[in-house]
Chains A and B, each alone.
Chain A
Amino acid sequence: MNTLISVDNLTYYYPQEKNPVLQDISFKINKGDVLGIIGPSGCGKSTLMLALSGLIPHALKGDMHGAITILEEDTKKSSMAKLSQIVQILFQSPDSQLFALNVEDEITFGLENLNLPWKLIEKRLENTLNEVNIMSLRHRSIEELSSGQKQRVALAAILAMEPKILLFDEPTANLDQPSIERLGQIIKKLSKKHSIIIIEHNIEFLKNLTNRVLLMNKGKIILEDKYDKIINQKEYKEIMLPPHNTKQVLQKLKTISFQTKKKPILEIRGLNFTYANKTKALSNVSLTIGKGDFLGIIGQNGSGKSTLALNIIGILKGNGKIILDGQDIAKKDVFERTKSIGYVFQNPNYQLFEEDLEKEIAFGPMNMGLSKAEIKKRVEEVLQIMHLTEFRKNDPHALSVGQKRRVSIASVLTMKPEIIIVDEPDTGLDHKTARAVMNYIKELNKAGKTIIMISHSLELLAEYCTRVIGVKDGRIVRPEEVYKEY
């Protein structure tokens, strides 16, 4: 039998939702397929994954019509015990997928649940540790692993179940480039034994891995073709951006300067920072940022780039001078610094708490003790700039990911900072939505704001930054030193 999965007229409504998130979806997956699923944020890709894994309808009820047949098992009638040995899913965030205390326990967890004999469990444990190349992590505690290592442990844990089909939900989302490449190699190796489905915003990742790609929009499949063909079709171009060309991007990055050519607004002199666990994160960092710079900071996970940014706003305080407009602010606290420096965090959910958007973006200026009239004026201004006026009375939690990102920028903008730090603004966004968010930031830069952007994305750095620096082992380096690892 060649067909492994058959999806027939699948329609699904989340509990208490009136609109379906998946509409009349049909497709087949054959043995040996590596299928990519792409589409704008919120198009239903992740929900489709949950349905393919059997979690819909077994863990998530809702209203499911149509059928998914996996190796002749109707997912509706089958059990999770059976399905879990046929299909396994690697979730986007490994932190939500790992619940044991050490690596070994994590990998054996599913097998213990299946009540397999211990000898067989041990054999599978050894096999998967070797397969994902993490034998050295076997006795380590989950908590002390890096995000790339955690992902490989999560992968080992699902491989141990010996599924025929592997589902990957945005596997590159939290990884730096070297980890992405390592993951690509692992998936390539796995594709010899498994059929694989990968959801990705990072479309280029699918190029050499997949033999077919599905394009989804608004809960429907609108195209199904090979990678090279799909990216040239009209329907694709209407809703998606063309994939990046890494060579061209690297070429462009070479032309971007390392030093500022503008009058300094912020100067960092001899900054050192060591965490409580004695990890030295910044060593003698000196950096001048010019007024109106659009500075990109690139570096691998753990290189010290976020530590540097958190030192600038004063959430972390190291030793050294931080001179803002000629004044040393190293001793000033965050509250003082927020008058001039804003920080847009990577995850908007860390900030959102008000019942409507208007109150949410008024929160910063209110904390600064501004008058009601001034706050109102600023809120109106920022709602206009960020095109959020129509959502002013909406619950911020109910907005789409791209809109939430805009709200978090807006909530910093109302504080009128001269310098805005943006941490990984494209996390979780498709290229098109990310570009839309970036264009707002570009407008702010044009209007005179100094932007500091931390990013793994070479494309964003190449397209938007007027200068780029690298951070490696807690030191400022020329970005080429970081690119060469890409």
Chain B
Amino acid sequence: MQFYDYIYRNSIVHKLDPRTKIAWLVGLSFLVFLTNAKKSILFMLGLVLLIVLLSKLPLRNVWQSSKVFIIFFTIANVILFSLLLWSIKQGVVDGIFFSIKFLVLIISSIVFAMSTSPRDLMLSLTKMKVPYELAFMLTLAIRFVPVIAREINHVIDAQKARAHKIKFSLMHPIASMETFLPILIPTFHLLLMKAFDLSLSIEARAFRSKKERTYPPRLKLRTYDYISLIILIGISVYVTGGLR
């Protein structure tokens, strides 16, 4: 189980500073919800798809991560708009366009996550004045989600070997909850022990022992970051111009 699915590729999108990518992500999200012009919405969908191609990310992975949202939002919006407008034809058109807005947001978030190494993301957060402790907690979360998932699986296996079955029934919620206890209690116990060990080893390596700490001088805004930001401004002018 991966909580954060970073895929390395030698692409311009990967090379951009995470701060530039955050600006793009925020910029696109605002723009797509600001505009209602169909031309602009289609333009932004095209733009996001172009970014996907530029990122050289495996299309299969992008599709795998986004398909649930694409299908769900499209169906839900088409039904919703058809009912609201009481016209299937209008509902389908408006529903699809409204879904595209979400898709632009979802696909660009997926490309952002897949093309930004979590360590660079954390570093850029600290550069953007997010407190170090918070960025460090996020690193720990990303690092330990697979570890925790593995522990939970071990606990499930160990209880299965004692003929335990997890039962889930909406009719008997309390009885269902009880079947989760043999999994939850050992898992919490293990996690508490792990958290305790972890806190000791963090302390042993002088965590927060000094007021200042060193950050790797890895991230720098380069020429292509500035160019891409200028392009973003250009797009904003075009799309907001389209609003009038």
Residues of A that sit less than 8 Å from B by CB:
50, 53-55, 58-60, 79-81, 84-85, 88-89, 91, 93, 95-102, 105, 108-118, 121, 142-143, 157-158, 161, 310, 313, 315, 334-335, 338, 342-343, 345, 347, 349-353, 363-364, 367-368, 397, 411-412, 415
Contact = CB atoms under 8 A, between A and B. Distances in A.
Contact of A110 (B190, B205, B212, B217): B205
A158 to B, nearest CB: 8
Given A101-B118, A351-B158, A113 B197 contact: no
Interface string B148-166: 0000001101111111110
A109 B206 CA distance: 9
Given A84-B205, A335-B163, A351-B159, A114 B143 contact: no
A350 B183 CA distance: 9
Contact of B189 (A98, A110, A352): A352
Nearest to A110: B205
Given A143-B143, A350-B186, A115 B214 contact: yes
B197 A80 contact: no
A310 B214 contact: no
B193 A349 contact: yes
Contact of A349 (B186, B201, B209, B213): B186
27 contacts: A55-B204, A59-B199, A79-B209, A84-B204, A84-B209, A85-B206, A97-B197, A97-B198, A99-B140, A99-B198, A99-B201, A101-B143, A108-B216, A111-B214, A113-B205, A115-B212, A116-B214, A118-B216, A121-B214, A315-B161, A334-B163, A338-B163, A351-B162, A351-B186, A367-B162, A367-B165, A397-B189
Interface in B136-154: 139-140, 142-144, 146-147, 154
Given A110-B206, A351-B162, A353-B181, A345 B154 contact: yes
B139 A100 contact: yes
B194 interface: yes
Contact of B165 (A93, A143, A313, A335): A335
Given A84-B205, A101-B139, A113-B209, 11 more contacts: A60-B200, A80-B203, A81-B210, A84-B206, A91-B201, A99-B139, A100-B139, A110-B205, A113-B207, A118-B216, A342-B161
Interface residues of B, number: 49
Given A96-B197, A121-B214, A80 B206 contact: yes
B202 interface: yes
B215 interface: yes
A113 B163 contact: no
Majority secondary structure of chain B interface residues (helix, strand, loop or mixed): helix
B9 interface: no
Nearest to B142: A101
Contacts of B203: 55, 58-59, 80
B67 interface: no
Contacts of B159: 350-351
A119 to B, nearest CB: 10
Given A59-B200, A338-B161, A99 B206 contact: no
